[in-house]
Amino acid sequence: MDVIEIDGASNNSVDQVRDLREDCQYAPAQCTFKIYIIDEVHMLTTQAFNALLKTLEEPPAHVKFIFATTEAHKVLPTIVSRCQRFEFRPISDEVIVEQLTRIAAKEEISVAPEALVSIARLANGGMRDAQSILDQMISFCGKEIQEQDVLNVYGLSSPQLVNELAVGIVQADYASVLRIVDQLVSEGRDLYRTLLDLQVVIRSVMLDAVRNKGISRLLPVPVGTEPLLRVLETLHSGEHSLQRGLSQKVNFEVLLLQAIEASRARAIDNLLKELSAAASATGDSGSKKKA
């Protein structure tokens, strides 16, 4: 009774905040404190925030407020300055897989390790989302869950195909890239999610190149930091068009072909340096011959 959760998105008017102010004056019925949890607090109107400000400045001794939001920058500074702030970070895929493994063992569910990795990818760092997805997979598949089950239910692309796309881009293999896109579309895969997974692969290769003096050998061909950075920028810039465009397949194909061209392009300043160095070397050799 003493823990009240309020949805800020649908209870964001001044009158509702005033009702809350009056209600919090009453002492808790059972607990030491009366707890008000306002979810999506950034959805409150400016007038509602101002109505709440007085209570935050001089709160009753028996009342605690908890504000939850994913967009803290939208909360008024006058409110933030009167709060103790905690930032919750995304949970790593490894930790999510470990927890899901424990849950599956306890519930006597057989889940392939690859399926757990796919669920962790879908959860985007949220343990609750990961557990919800696992629960849905149990409803669909029963006591045994394979990786392909997760891929089919949620339209994910297999890690193998995503890696093949990355290889096709750095090798400028246009035919292979278009073939993989056709396969993804025929299988009903989520192309936007595939784009995000592809960015993760390219980023990991780029970081490996940074750690290894500018060259990565994680892919079948050595590739440098500069082309990987251009590919990553191209893929990132195309996210909006892929989401909003009329034809996802066409937009995805164009974006991947642009990424290939970006990987093959050479920075003008580097090219000028190479030409200058070559010219200097030619001049030096010519001078030595005349001498």
Q: Between vectors from CA 251 to CA 250 and to CA 255, what angle results, nearest 5°?
A: 120
- Same domain? 118 vs 63: no
The reported pLDDT for the residue numbered 19 is 85
- Same domain? 99 vs 68: no
pLDDT digits (tens, 9 = 90+) for 12-71: 778 888 888 888 888 898 889 999 999 989 988 888 888 888 888 888 899 999 999 988
| Non-local CB neighbours of 17 within 8 Å, separated by 6+ positions | 44, 48, 51, 52
Nearest one of 141, 170, 167 to 153, comparing CA atoms? 141
pLDDT digits (tens, 9 = 90+) for 187-238: 989 999 999 999 999 999 999 999 998 899 898 888 889 899 999 999 999 8
Q: Is the pLDDT of residue 287 over 70?
A: no
- Same domain? 179 vs 217: yes
pLDDT digits (tens, 9 = 90+) for 122-146: 998 999 999 999 999 999 998 999 9
Q: Is the pLDDT of residue 291 over 60?
A: no
The reported pLDDT for the residue numbered 274 is 66
The CATH number of residue 67's host domain is 3.40.50.300
In a domain, 253, yes or no: yes
Question: How many CA atoms are closer than 13 Å to the CA of 144, on its beta-carbon side?
Answer: 0
The reported pLDDT for the residue numbered 290 is 53
In a domain, 244, yes or no: yes
- Same domain? 56 vs 99: no
Say if residues 44 and 17 touch (Cβ distance below 8 Å). Answer: yes
Q: Is the pLDDT of residue 289 over 60?
A: no
Say if residues 36 and 62 touch (Cβ distance below 8 Å). Answer: no
Strand, helix or coil for residue 126: coil
The reported pLDDT for the residue numbered 88 is 87
In a domain, 276, yes or no: no
Of the three residues 34, 57, 80, the one that is the final residue of a domain is: 80
Of the three residues 49, 80, 111, the one that is the final residue of a domain is: 80
Print the domain residue range for 132.
Answer: 93-154
- Same domain? 150 vs 164: no
284 or 227: which leads in pLDDT: 227
The CATH number of residue 237's host domain is 1.20.272.10
Nearest one of 26, 32, 94 to 60, comparing CA atoms? 26
- Same domain? 34 vs 13: yes
In a domain, 289, yes or no: no
In a domain, 290, yes or no: no
How is residue 62 annotated by DSSP? T
Distances (CA, A) of 242 to 158, 175, 200, 251, 255: 20, 21, 17, 6, 8
- Same domain? 150 vs 166: no
pLDDT classification of 268: cutoffs 50, 70, 90: low
How is residue 8 annotated by DSSP? T
In a domain, 116, yes or no: yes
The reported pLDDT for the residue numbered 18 is 84
In a domain, 85, yes or no: no
268 or 198: which leads in pLDDT: 198
Residue percentage of the chain with pLDDT more than 70: 93
Structural domains of the chain, count: 3
- Same domain? 122 vs 180: no
The reported pLDDT for the residue numbered 47 is 86
**Which two structure tokens, joined as six digits, stand for 217?**
């050998």
| Non-local CB neighbours of 197 within 8 Å, separated by 6+ positions | 121, 156, 157, 159, 162
Nearest one of 157, 161, 169, 164 to 232, comparing CA atoms? 169
**Phi, psi of 277, rounded to the nearest 5 degrees:** -65, -40
- Same domain? 28 vs 63: yes
- Same domain? 186 vs 264: yes
pTM of structure: 0.71
Of the three residues 23, 52, 80, the one that is the final residue of a domain is: 80
- Same domain? 98 vs 74: no
Q: Is the pLDDT of residue 269 over 60?
A: no
pLDDT digits (tens, 9 = 90+) for 78-118: 888 888 999 888 999 999 999 999 999 999 999 999 999 99
- Same domain? 9 vs 75: yes
What distance in Å separates the CA atoms of residue 236 and residue 228, rounded to the nearest whole number? 12
In a domain, 21, yes or no: yes
